[in-house]
């Protein structure tokens, strides 16, 4: 009896879980993998799942899907929309939804494994399935590796992964070389001197310091990087103060930095530190600012030869012209850690999740950016069909390409 993948997707969509809290999702995925005959280990890197399928001599393929949701309130209005809540690391109760499509990733992976098991007479090798937690924290791949999976499982000859995105369902986007940017999440604490709002001259105002810092940071991408170079400096949050007539002592900025390679990373990080320290000094701060790196993600770089093979295989399976070059994405991923630590090539691609007619209408009207929700939007929800079917075929086809 085949797995009802639509029911699986709708169930996972209704029940998202925050990073490193994906116990229900992990249990469901592990159950399906066991039912399909895989050896399964749970609790890898806190909540990760590893499935192992040995099928004779041949290459070792690691296939990865991530499973965590985001602290976003779903506004899609779908009958299967999430109403879930959870507690974030700061202890706050937050809404949760699958605003990045990880429910679709798990669904497609389970479907691909089901197909590979059914076709096991036609291929030979070892499949390692990774159901990864906490991609949204940029920490799940590292956690699974730190848990020792490279020592307990056959080392990969190739690492594969895929991500649903707002392209028309049926379209695959992949390119050789840099596919996604490297990223750092950095928290900056600016130290001032607090006091009464009526006596600003007796204080060193960190709110003004923070405002000046935010504006000056914008010049890194616009004035310090080559216009042809990818570089993003975003301040995602500012926290300071508790009341309108109290000048606080400190202000905190949370930065998201993105770059195409290690050289650009060094330039941007140096510029951020220079600007933050300079604005702090310009404000007369008596304490140096503090910098804390929350996460670091490497660039997602697709192996040229392996990507060429996957592209040809997907065009054969899904029809010529299915695969496009979507350009480099400035978003970031932690899937590269698996390939980097193993010294193996990586192929990571995107597949469309938007109803083709809906996308075509938006394209004709010139409203794609405004009317097609993107990942992390409260309105993001891939169309179940044909997104599921294409995701299953894409992953199964890529695995088979390296299994003979």
Between β-strands 172-173 and 85-87, what pairing exists: parallel, antiparallel or unpaired?
Answer: unpaired
For tokens 């990942």, name the residue: 375
Q: So what's the pLDDT on residue 25?
A: 98
Closest among 399, 373, 390 to 172, alpha carbons compared: 390
Query: Residue-wise pLDDT tens for the chain (404 aa)?
Result: 699 999 999 999 999 999 999 999 999 999 999 999 999 999 999 999 999 999 999 999 999 999 999 999 999 999 999 999 999 999 999 999 999 999 999 999 999 999 999 999 999 999 999 999 999 999 999 999 999 999 999 999 999 999 999 999 999 999 999 999 999 999 999 999 999 999 999 999 999 999 999 999 999 999 999 888 889 999 999 999 999 999 999 999 999 999 988 889 999 999 999 999 999 999 999 999 999 999 899 999 999 999 999 999 999 999 999 999 999 998 999 999 999 999 999 999 999 999 999 999 999 999 999 999 999 999 999 999 999 999 999 999 999 999 97
Helices then strands, each counted (H, E), the chain:
12, 18
* Residues that constitute the known binding site: 100, 102, 136, 163
| Domains with residue ranges and CATH for the chain | 5-179+299-403 (3.40.630.10), 182-296 (3.30.70.360)
**CA 135 centroid distance within chain:** 5
* Residues that constitute the known binding site for Mn(2+): 100, 102, 136, 163
Q: So what's the pLDDT on residue 261?
A: 85
Q: So what's the pLDDT on residue 363?
A: 95
Between β-strands 125-132 and 60-66, what pairing exists: parallel, antiparallel or unpaired?
Answer: parallel
Cα separation, 94 vs 72, whole angstroms = 8
Q: So what's the pLDDT on residue 229?
A: 86
User: C-alpha angle 288/293/298, rounded to 5°?
Assistant: 140
Cα separation, 89 vs 235, whole angstroms = 20
Q: So what's the pLDDT on residue 8?
A: 98
State the pTM of this model: 0.91
The DSSP bridge partners found for residue 49 are: 42, 131
Evaluate whether 334 touches 140 at the Cβ level (below 8 Å): yes
Q: Angle of helix 23-35 relative to helix 5-14, nearest 10 degrees?
A: 170
Cβ density class 7-28: b for 16+ within 10 Å, e for less: ebbbbbbbbbbbbbbbeebbeb
Q: So what's the pLDDT on residue 326?
A: 95
User: C-alpha angle 357/105/9, rounded to 5°?
Assistant: 75
Cα separation, 102 vs 88, whole angstroms = 18
Q: So what's the pLDDT on residue 62?
A: 99
């Amino acid at each position: 009896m085949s797995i009802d993948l639509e029911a699986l997707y709708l169930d996972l969509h209704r029940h998202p879980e925050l990073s490193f809290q994906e116990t229900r999702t992990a249990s469901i995925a592990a159950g399906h993998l066991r039912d399909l005959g895989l050896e399964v280990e749970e609790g890898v890197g806190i909540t990760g799942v590893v499935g192992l399928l040995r099928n004779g001599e041949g290459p070792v393929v690691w296939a990865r899907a991530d499973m965590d949701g985001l602290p976003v309130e779903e506004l899609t209005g779908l009958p299967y929309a999430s109403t879930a809540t959870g507690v974030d690391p700061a202890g706050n109760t937050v809404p949760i939804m699958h605003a990045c499509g990880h429910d679709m990733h798990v669904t497609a992976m389970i479907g691909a494994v089901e197909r590979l098991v059914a076709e096991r007479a036609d291929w030979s090798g070892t499949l390692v399935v990774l159901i990864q937690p906490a991609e949204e924290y940029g920490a799940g791949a590292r956690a699974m590796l730190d848990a020792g999976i490279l020592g307990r499982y056959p080392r990969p000859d190739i690492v594969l992964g895929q991500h649903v995105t707002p392209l028309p369902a049926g379209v695959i986007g992949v390119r050789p070389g840099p596919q996604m940017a490297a990223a750092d999440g950095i928290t900056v604490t600016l130290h001032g001197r607090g006091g009464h709002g009526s006596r600003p001259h007796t204080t060193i105002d960190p709110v003004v310091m923070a405002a000046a810092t935010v504006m000056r940071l914008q010049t890194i991408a616009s004035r310090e990087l080559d216009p042809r170079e990818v570089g993003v400096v975003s301040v995602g949050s500012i926290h300071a103060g508790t009341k309108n007539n109290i000048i606080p002592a400190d202000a905190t900025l949370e930065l998201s930095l993105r770059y195409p390679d290690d050289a650009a990373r060094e330039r941007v990080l140096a510029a951020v530190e220079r600007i933050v320290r300079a604005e702090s000094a310009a404000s007369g701060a008596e304490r140096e600012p503090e910098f804390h790196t929350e996460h670091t993600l490497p660039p997602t770089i697709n192996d040229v030869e392996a990507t060429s093979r996957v592209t040809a295989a997907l065009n054969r399976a899904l029809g010529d012209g299915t695969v496009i070059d979507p350009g480099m994405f400035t978003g970031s991923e932690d899937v590269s850690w698996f390939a980097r630590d193993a010294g193996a090539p990586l192929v990571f691609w995107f597949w469309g999740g938007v109803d083709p007619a809906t996308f075509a209408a938006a394209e004709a009207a010139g409203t794609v950016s405004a009317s097609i929700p993107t990942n992390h939007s409260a309105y993001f929800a891939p169309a179940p069909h044909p997104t599921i079917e294409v995701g299953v075929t894409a992953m199964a086809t890529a695995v088979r390409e390296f299994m003979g």
